[in-house]
Structure 1
Amino acid sequence: MAVKSNFSNDDFVSILSNYDLGDFEAAQPLTNGTVQTNFLLQTGSGKYVFRYYENRPLGSVLFESNLINYLTAKRYPCPAAFSNRDGEFVGLFAEKPYIIFEYVDGEHLETLSDDQKSQLIHHVAELHNITQTYEPSYQEHRWNYDVDLCRTLAQEAAAKQASRNARYKLAWFEAELSALDLPDTLPKGICHCDFHPSNVLFQNGVFKALLDFDDANYTFLSFDLASLMNPFVPGFDWNSWFHFRPDENVFDFTEAKSVAQAYMRHRPLTADEKTHLFDMFKLTVMFDCVWYFARGAAHDFFEKRKIDYLNQLGRSRFYHEIFD
């Protein structure tokens, strides 16, 4: 992640003095990503990753540390967190929380082979199987992805922009959210919610670890599945959507159907999850709209065009393309 806070060698000596991880030798900033500050620490006993949470309250980080401890106890492939001599997994430095993680060797792949995609999907389904009965503590300190959160974040984004375009976009946004059908009875658990290549480690072509649970939260399990799916043709993207006509067929379900089938080999979907996967996929698009709320004119922009195409297709056709 990008380094936003500076640490001296003396700072790391002081921090490590309360851990049984060996004496500090060196620190190297890790610069991939944009949110939290990370350093690779070298001590007398090995390598560790120091993560400093720039924009997360203590409760949110405690949610993550407890989740990581639960997953590693279940032998899930993710870096373990280390406790200090007081038995605490989350420390504070300059009033911000940090965790020291296990260093896992491997490489980040920008492009995955079909086999590597299947491995990732397998471990996403495994995460869901493991956490379907997990009762998270500090849940209220996380953004738990659902319709209510999506609406709240959009309202905040529109208020921040305070423009006519933002008001029009919010009106469209709230109408589309109201049309989603996502029953509370859909299975819930922990979703990772960020499968960027920098968060997935492979070694010699084999899945090694899922990293960075900074966005993980308690939500509908099918949210992660929907976020892995892309039912659009490869050429339809944020920088090319305007080349397509509003009435053009932009769908190619080949990959999306393959992802769903691979996932269901490890966690079969309930009948309700299948029925409402259309709405779940639309919810992932709406969250993308939140993250890029300032992008595009309200009458026609990338996420709106996606939703318009999906509305033209309909829930029934989406279901049959994926599951028949």
Structure 2
Amino acid sequence: MEYDSLINEIKHSYQINIENINLHREMIGRVYFLQNQEKKYMFKIFRSFKTDDALQTVRILDYLKANSYPAVSVIRTVQNDSHIILSSQAGSCVGILYDYVEGATPDGKIEAKSIGTQIGKLHNLMEQYPEKLIRRTKFDYIDGYISNMQDLQFDPGKILELNHYGNELWERITKLPKSFCHGDLHTGNMLRNECGEYILLDFDDASGDYPSMDVAYMCDATDFNHSNESMYDQTMRLYERFYSGYSTTRTISSNEFKALFDFIAIRHFQIISRIVQCQGLQSISKEFCDEQYSWLMKWQELCIKHG
């Protein structure tokens, strides 16, 4: 939307005068920073295919606030609605206005233990969540990327190898305990406030799937684009620091621990599929897919090597 149109929509729905608006980032949705003389806000427009996720986000944030867990506040409209509906070329989109959160992006390595403690509390609290959570499918996690490579007419032999690897990963993780999962847990999606609490952002991928996936994503010390021999060990060391905090409130089973390294592979399938979903097939190339194929095969080797 044009800035003027968006400002008018917000003014009409929230009775808030906006003096400055800036696009902060764009991926699953567009995130804007807004400001007037009194305060700052954050406004997010979700893509049309993420409407259910957007509405689930509001319910989760309301639940966390009601239970005194540090979370960003959703601002209601003058009609006391949690969101507004906006029109776009792709269809109707949900827009949500949040209070602006002051804070700093934490250092995931230095603060791993304290982050782990708070995430353990989050997982425990969300086990009492009264609403039904969205469940993601194999296509969401793995097969979307396989489909992208087929559309790109990528090497059929390599597609077959990755499909086989994806099937093995899926077979193992589906045996794990299910509960709440943030789904995109990393330091870029949290802010440390002045009280030392971690305010979590972007619950777009939250689900009722695997809490251990959050642990894996938070402890992923690999480079997404470049593989090296040390990345398994680096991830293991980060996990040890994170788990020293997480385990003060919650533990994971031996099978969940083993699956942490599977989830790191799954993250590659998942993120690339998400990029294509949001930005189109032209956003990735055969060369990029070949790099990812090599990365995943190397990761598989490392996981076998370390048992």
Match of 1:102 in 2: 99
Q: Tell me the distance in 2 between the aligned counterparts of 1:92 and 1:46.
A: 23
Instruction: From the superposition, tell whether residues 186 and 139 of structure 1 become closer, same or farther in structure 2 (CA, over 3 Å).
Output: same
Q: Does 1:175 align with 2:164?
A: yes
Match of 1:78 in 2: 71
Opposite residue 161 of structure 2, the aligned amino acid is W
Q: Contact 2:22/2:32 (CA < 8 Å) preserved in 1?
A: yes
Aligned residues: 288
Match of 2:240 in 1: 257
Q: Does 1:59 align with 2:42?
A: no
Q: Contact 1:26/1:43 (CA < 8 Å) preserved in 2?
A: yes
Q: Contact 1:27/1:39 (CA < 8 Å) preserved in 2?
A: no
Instruction: From the superposition, tell whether residues 168 and 88 of structure 1 become closer, same or farther in structure 2 (CA, over 3 Å).
Output: farther
Q: Does 1:278 align with 2:258?
A: yes
Opposite residue 261 of structure 1, the aligned amino acid is S
Aligned residues: CA RMSD: 3.1
Q: Does 1:38 align with 2:49?
A: no
Equivalent position to 2:296, from 290, 303, 309:
303
SS in 2 for 1:39: strand
Instruction: From the superposition, tell whether residues 291 and 11 of structure 1 become closer, same or farther in structure 2 (CA, over 3 Å).
Output: closer
List runs of 5+ in structure 1 lacking aligned partners.
315-324
1:148 shift after superposition: 5.5
Deviates more, 1:48-57 or 1:304-313: 48-57
Higher Rg of the two aligned structures:
1
Match of 2:227 in 1: 241
1:298 shift after superposition: 8.1
Match of 1:117 in 2: 112
1:239 shift after superposition: 5.2
Match of 2:281 in 1: none
SS in 1 for 2:179: strand
Equivalent position to 1:7, from 3, 8, 25:
3
Q: Tell me the distance in 2 between the aligned counterparts of 1:135 and 1:149.
A: 24
